[in-house]
Amino acid sequence: MAAAAASPRDPHGRKRKCRPGACSGWVSPRRFPAAVCTSMDCYTANWNPLGDSAFYRKYELYSMDWDLKEELRDCLVAAAPYGGPIALLRNPWRKEKAASVRPVLDIYSASGMPLASLLWKSGPVVSLGWSAEEELLCVQEDGAVLVYGLHGDFRRHFSMGNEVLQNRVLDARIFHTEFGSGVAILTGAHRFTLSANVGDLKLRRMPEVPGLQSAPSCWTVLCQDRVAHILLAVGPDLYLLDHAACSAVTPPGLAPGVSSFLQMAVSFTYRHLALFTDTGYIWMGTASLKEKLCEFNCNIRAAPKQMVWCSRPRSKERAVVVAWERRLMVVGDAPESIQFVLDEDSYLVPELDGVRIFSRSTHEFLHEVPAASEEIFKIASMAPGALLLEAQKEYEAASFGKCFLDRFPPDSFVRMCQDLRVLNAIRDYHIGIPLTYSQYKQLTIQVLLDRLVLRRLYPLAIQICEYLRLPEVQGVSRILAHWACYKVQQKDVSDEDVARAINQKLGDTPGVSYSDIAARAYGCGRTELAIKLLEYEPRSGEQVPLLLKMKRSKLALSKAIESGDTDLVFTVLLHLKNELNRGDFFMTLRNQPMALSLYRQFCKHQELETLKDLYNQDDNHQELGSFHIRASYAAEERIEGRVAALQTAADAFYKAKNEFAAKATEDQMRLLRLQRRLEDELGGQFLDLSLHDTVTTLILGGHNKRAEQLARDFRIPDKRLWWLKLTALADLEDWEELEKFSKSKKSPIGYLPFVEICIKQHNKYEAKKYASRVSPEQKVKALLLVGDVAQAADVAIEHRNEAELSLVLSHCTGATDGATADKIQRARAQAQKK
């Protein structure tokens, strides 16, 4: 799909008069149906046919706003493609030092609005050109390339090689490839040097052209298979230079009699090449020089000022526009050419789908009328050309027409209308970006927005984003962020004001990264501003690293803590630990309890000694006590060491006023020493047994005396001691000793446990001995345990206890206890009667 630019209105909205050029062989467009033609002839009046199949038209984009005093021919001129800016270097060849005649570099928009103006104070400039990022590259005679921004701000510079210093640069070209923008220079030694991408500068010196004594009559950069070549003409010969070799080439079907090539032109996409010879003959073919497309003899032998291709993507028509001082000629595969008279000194800018032509007073666009436009007369045509040619009327027609097409999806219509509005908006005189639809689609909306941002046209960019409903992150937010980054560079405004202005404008706009803006501010040396901006950054993950980078670690710490992101806190902590001396570090921690706990955690696993220091600093004796207890188990092997560690722990517990822990620790020290002695004297394993188990082990080993002693020394409560002995003796199956023990005094735990433990050891006989001594309230249970169901029933009946009766009953099994069961039932029945 291709389309021409919108209707030829000037920026002020006045309809300009059509200005048909002087054409040779002008014919009225005969292929249109007569009826429609009458209503449309206003639009087709400036259509000029070239051959049988194509029309070319030229219309005005702007009347230029600049007030140029010089002729263009007295300036170095560079205009960026895609409706880009125009740079003029006035007086480029004056060598005098006087300020009044020093060269002046002016930058204008395509509509001639001044963007920047500066006195040129550097060396003589050979050539100007724009990069794809709309940076102005100024190639100096000494091989230095100075890079300026759209607003005349100096960005950087680089050199095209030392060799150039002596030989000077004779000529230079700035060219664009898919990798970016390149520079090619021709030196005084008639050698070429080339860099394919100024963003990633790699200089390539091209091979020598054998026997080249003078500068080539013309040359150009070709780009084939992603490699840049140079094509140059010396007399009747053409040479192709690649990085390895220089080879002579001959265009197929070139007319004889050529003694010199005066001009050559490569198409926008590097696909085609045109050669202008001293015989006034133009050869047109592929850039590979393998195929001739057509030729034309214009019979003008003077070297043209400029020659550029004029074709549109996906069109079969090939045409070249050739400009002399006062004459413009469109030639193609046709016996006739289209000719225009140039009123003024003009400059040609090749575009993707046509040629822009500007002079001191006007800016025009010349292009092939797209095939689609020829179809606009079809009813309800949705051809974009139709829309673009006469947006207003066609819009109405289309929106009217689409009502009749019930299956026509409205999306593309809506999208087209939106695009048209955008194109109209940016073409506005004040903005001055005259893009055609194809150019716009090729450029993409993202790049267009970037260009608006580059021109600091933030409000328009935002309006477009909102109008097209672009996602905020890609659209509005990005633009606001750019604006903010521009804002922080305004050094004459105070930090306070900049921060406030930015926050007012950006607020909480989604997708705006305050930390990116802050980073930019920091990059400009405005740390305080950066910190102020970071205050607005809600994402601590972004905030903290930058604060660290700016050496505001303590602020970073409190921000990290605020976020709750412990990993972030750790990161700052480790940073602080390296940055501060230990004392300061600890003090910082002290004021941040959350950080302190985290750091303690870290130390627990990584730096135990530091943990101790931390506790010491905080006088946290309780934790110090625990710390030494752990140490007594982990670090110490020898008993003395362990006891010493425990002593330290006990002291700490006293300081912590934890009497219980201190005493328990002292007991443990006593126990440890004792266990060591027991091991020495009795053999076996005692260390690290609990007191309870130590006593048990002694009993099991038959050391009852020692066991008693130990129990007394450590004041084991009577009840537990009885359980302990009971369990140990039963384990030993020392029934005799158990019985003796049971009779030693009245059991503090009763006698049911004796019964239970005997049963557990499967000794019913022993169990029975104790059953009789069990207290009345537990008697039934005991009797059941020893299997005396009948007696259990008697006791239960005597107790008149319903729960006990049920319990006994549940133990009555079938035949054997039948009588008992009956007895219980009778007792129950009796109880119920009463």
Partner 1 sequence: MAAHLSYGRVNLNVLREAVRRELREFLDKCAGSKAIVWDEYLTGPFGLIAQYSLLKEHEVEKMFTLKGSRLPAADVKNVIFFVRPRLELMDIIAENVLSEDRRGPARDFHILFVPRRSLLCEQRLKDLGVLGSFIHREEYSLDLIPFDGDLLSMESECAFKECYLEGDQTSLYHAAKGLMTLQALYGTIPQIFGKGECARQVANMMIRMKREFTGSQNSIFPVFDNLLLLDRNVDLLTPLATQLTYEGLIDEIYGIQNSYVKLPPEKFAPKKQGDGGKDLPTEAKKLQLNSAEELYAEIRDKNFNAVGSVLSKKAKIISAAFEERHNAKTVGEIKQFVSQLPHMQAARGSLANHTSIAELIKDVTTSEDFFDKLTVEQEFMSGIDTDKVNNYIEDCIAQKHSLIKVLRLVCLQSVCNSGLKQKVLDYYKREILQTYGYEHILTLHNLEKAGLLKPQTGGRNNYPTIRKTLRLWMDDVNEQNPTDISYVYSGYAPLSVRLAQLLSRPGWRSIEEVLRILPGPHFEERQPLPTGLQKKRQPGENRVTLVFFLGGVTFAEIAALRFLSQLEDGGTEYVIATTKLMNGTSWIEALMEKPF
Q: Which is nearer to partner 1, 406 or 609 (CB)?
A: 609
Told to check if 466 binds partner 1 by CB under 8 A, we report no
Options 177, 626, 704, 801; binder of partner 1; rule CB under 8 A: 626
AA identity, residue 383: A
Name the 3-class secondary structure at 831: helix
Alpha carbon distance 223, 176 (integer Å): 9
Task: Build a one-symbol-per-residue string for 142-181: x at contacts with partner 1 by CB under 8 A, - elsewhere.
Answer: ----------------------------------------
Options 688, 733, 798, 822; binder of partner 1; rule CB under 8 A: 688
Which residue has 């520079």 as its token pair?
183
Told to check if 717 binds partner 1 by CB under 8 A, we report yes
Name the 3-class secondary structure at 733: coil
Told to check if 327 binds partner 1 by CB under 8 A, we report no
Told to check if 798 binds partner 1 by CB under 8 A, we report no
- Quote the crossing angle between the two packed helices 659-682 and 704-713, to the nearest 10°: 160
Report the candidate in 536, 599, 537, 533 with the shortest Cα–Cα distance to residue 572: 599
Which residue has 């625990």 as its token pair?
626
Told to check if 277 binds partner 1 by CB under 8 A, we report no
Told to check if 685 binds partner 1 by CB under 8 A, we report no
Q: Where are the alpha helices (DSSP H) in 332-409?
A: 371-374, 384-389, 391-401
Residue 666 structure tokens: 């002292």
Q: Got the DSSP string for 558-614?
A: HHHHHHT-HHHHHHHHHHHHHHS-HHHHHHHHHT-HHHHHHHHHHHHHH-HHHHHHH
| Strands 144-148, 136-140: pairing kind | antiparallel
Told to check if 566 binds partner 1 by CB under 8 A, we report yes
Give the nearest distance from C-beta 827 to partner 1 in angstroms: 24
Options 20, 459, 564, 641; binder of partner 1; rule CB under 8 A: 564
Give the nearest distance from C-beta 650 to partner 1 in angstroms: 11
Options 664, 682, 819, 831; binder of partner 1; rule CB under 8 A: 664
Sheet containing 327-332, strands listed edge to edge, beginning at the edge strand earlier in sequence: 306-309, 319-323, 327-332, 338-341
Stretch that binds partner 1, among 124-132, 288-296, 334-342, 658-666 (CB under 8 A): 658-666
Told to check if 571 binds partner 1 by CB under 8 A, we report yes
Exposure of 56 in the CB half-sphere (CA atoms within 13 A): 33
Told to check if 803 binds partner 1 by CB under 8 A, we report no
Give the nearest distance from C-beta 764 to partner 1 in angstroms: 19
Give the nearest distance from C-beta 672 to partner 1 in angstroms: 9
**What are the φ and ψ backbone dihedral angles of 389, each rounded to 5 degrees?**
-65, -45
Options 1, 116, 749, 790; binder of partner 1; rule CB under 8 A: 749
Alpha carbon distance 127, 150 (integer Å): 17
Q: Which is nearer to partner 1, 684 or 717 (CB)?
A: 717
Give the nearest distance from C-beta 754 to partner 1 in angstroms: 13
Alpha carbon distance 458, 186 (integer Å): 40
DSSP symbol at 9:
B
Told to check if 339 binds partner 1 by CB under 8 A, we report no
Number of residues interacting with partner 1: please give it, by CB under 8 A. 57
Give the nearest distance from C-beta 726 to partner 1 in angstroms: 9
Alpha carbon distance 62, 76 (integer Å): 21
Span 587-616, contacts to partner 1 by CB under 8 A: 593-594, 596-598, 600-601, 605-606
CA 766 to the chain's CA centroid: 83
Q: What is the largest CA-CA distance in the chain?
A: 148
Stretch that binds partner 1, among 168-176, 177-185, 303-311, 507-515 (CB under 8 A): 507-515
Told to check if 724 binds partner 1 by CB under 8 A, we report yes
Alpha carbon distance 625, 664 (integer Å): 12
Told to check if 637 binds partner 1 by CB under 8 A, we report no
Told to check if 538 binds partner 1 by CB under 8 A, we report yes
Told to check if 469 binds partner 1 by CB under 8 A, we report no
Told to check if 633 binds partner 1 by CB under 8 A, we report yes
Q: Which is nearer to partner 1, 395 or 570 (CB)?
A: 570
Name the 3-class secondary structure at 798: helix
Q: Which is nearer to partner 1, 392 or 597 (CB)?
A: 597
Options 91, 727, 761, 801; binder of partner 1; rule CB under 8 A: 727
Told to check if 563 binds partner 1 by CB under 8 A, we report yes
- 500: Cβ contacts below 8 Å, ≥ 6 apart: none
Give the nearest distance from C-beta 563 to partner 1 in angstroms: 7
Q: Are 273 and 265 in contact (CB under 8 A)?
A: yes
Alpha carbon distance 565, 109 (integer Å): 50
The CA-atom distances, in angstroms, between 64 and each of 68, 90, 361, 764 are 9, 17, 5, 122
Told to check if 574 binds partner 1 by CB under 8 A, we report yes
Q: Which is nearer to partner 1, 176 or 642 (CB)?
A: 642
Residue 634 structure tokens: 């982990």
Told to check if 713 binds partner 1 by CB under 8 A, we report no
Q: Contact positions toward partner 1, by CB under 8 A?
A: 472-473, 477, 508, 510-511, 538-539, 562-568, 570-571, 574, 593-594, 596-598, 600-601, 605-606, 622, 626, 629-630, 632-634, 660-661, 664-665, 667-668, 671, 688-693, 714, 716-717, 719-720, 722-724, 727, 749
